[in-house]
Amino acid sequence: MDIVYHYPHDLFESLVNTIPLLCKYKKSVVSFFRGAGVETDICRDLEKKIAAPGDGVNKYEMVRSVLSRLNERGEMTLRERREIIRRVVEFEDFSTCWPDDVIKAKGLISEIRRMVDVKDSFTRMRLEKDREIKKYQLDRENQINDLKKKRQLLEEIKRDLYSLFAFPDSQAQKRGKLLEGVMNRLFDADDILVREAFEVVSDEGNGVLEQIDGVVEIDGYLYLVEIKWWREPLGKAEVSPHLVKVFNRGHAGGIIISKAGYTVPAIDTCKDALVQKSIVLCDLEEIVALLEKQGSVKQFFKEKLQRAIIDKKPYAKKV
């Protein structure tokens, strides 16, 4: 029973009026409390008083003293207070009562049962509400912490992406590899990365057949990613190999990210491919703008895919 810390006043008074009726003798009152686990030091002075001739103490005063002492000890005596309530509400052997007290005792026990049920119900509701509040606070705190971590991660990704602009063309290959890593981290930050850059090797040992810069999943569909940091816009000859990779993989779509944009023939080729495949062309400057405002890369590509599929525009810039 969740009667926490102290007996409420109404329950306290009801127990004071009831327990003496359940015990014929003063020694029986002490035995009742000792049976409920009440420590000896709480009852010791009362035992001495009732052992002395003409003790001058009655059962009601004894009960009030013991219950007051238990209340004063707060949480330390929570177990004893609960056990006392349990012994009262489950009391059934009225042969220990004086005959004239039986009916009154039954009525008081019934009232205590009602009070305990009501208080216990309110306690359970309060505890449940407290749990819900704590859970909401914890969830909210976790959301805030996750958001802080994500913002910090995006700042790091943005910093690393900006650093690539300082690379000289003589280190183009290294820059390209680093760009793949930066983009894959960006995809992973939004939980859409399926696989980082990998190579498809011939079973016959004829070397590398394909180089895939990454694979992402958006709305249940897989998209092969190609990333190019070239000085000149990508032409038809540059986008076509990636289209071949996409067409060779069933229901997969394709995403191409270019530092220098695309030629008209490249855009037209991708537009023709939209008849069978979902293809999106993206500029690196769009990614830069996205990082500047810490937007969602998943939502960014979802919108571009919608423009590609609905409007047949694979190259719909969002800068």
Q: pLDDT-derived band of residue 19, with 50, 70 and 90 as boundaries?
A: very high
The arithmetic mean of pLDDT across residues 90-112, rounded, is 91
Q: pLDDT-derived band of residue 168, with 50, 70 and 90 as boundaries?
A: confident
pLDDT of residue 3: 46
pLDDT in tens, 21-34: 999 999 999 999 99
pLDDT of residue 8: 81
Cβ neighbours around 294 below 10 Å, total: 13
Structure tokens at 63: 């009960």
CA 272 and chain centroid, separation: 46
Q: How far is CA 112 from CA 72, 131, 188, in A?
A: 21, 28, 61
Contacts of 125-129 with C-beta under 8 Å, sequence gap 24+, read: 127/2
Mean pLDDT (the chain) is 87
d(CA 225, CA 215): 6
Q: How far is CA 44 from CA 27, 37, 309, in A?
A: 12, 14, 87
> Do 297 and 192 meet the contact criterion of CB atoms below 8 Å apart?
yes
At 55, is the secondary structure helix, strand, or coil?
coil
Q: How far is CA 60 from CA 24, 30, 46, 267, in A?
A: 12, 12, 12, 96
Helices 9-22 and 102-164 cross at an angle (nearest 10°) of: 140
Instruction: Report the alpha-carbon angle 181-184-190, nearest 5.
Output: 145
pTM: 0.57
pLDDT of residue 1: 42
Share of the chain above pLDDT 90, in %: 49
pLDDT in tens, 249-300: 888 999 999 999 999 999 999 999 999 999 999 999 999 999 998 889 999 9
pLDDT in tens, 115-161: 877 666 545 555 666 777 888 888 899 999 988 998 899 999 999 99
* Residue 297 backbone phi and psi in degrees, to 5: -70, -30
Better-scored residue on pLDDT, 201 or 3: 201
Highest mean pLDDT among 35-39, 162-166, 267-271, 313-317: 267-271
Structure tokens at 190: 């939004």
pLDDT of residue 206: 59
Question: What DSSP designation does 39 have?
Answer: -
Structure tokens at 304: 């571009």
Q: pLDDT-derived band of residue 78, with 50, 70 and 90 as boundaries?
A: confident
Strands 208-218 and 193-201: antiparallel
Where does the chain show beta strands of DSSP type E?
193-201, 208-218, 221-228, 253-258, 279-283
Residue in the block written with tokens 């914890």: 138
| N-terminal to C-terminal alpha carbon distance within the chain | 63
The arithmetic mean of pLDDT across residues 54-73, rounded, is 88
Domain 169-310 has CATH 3.40.50.720: no
d(CA 70, CA 81): 7
Let me know if 118 is exposed, middle or buried by CB neighbors in 10 A (0-12, 13-18, 19+). exposed
* pLDDT for residue 52 is more than 90: no
d(CA 176, CA 180): 6
CA 149 and chain centroid, separation: 15
Question: What DSSP designation does 96 have?
Answer: G
Q: What residues contact 262, with CB distance under 8 A and at least 6 apart?
A: 233, 234, 235, 239, 270, 281, 315
At 218, is the secondary structure helix, strand, or coil?
strand
The arithmetic mean of pLDDT across residues 69-85, rounded, is 87
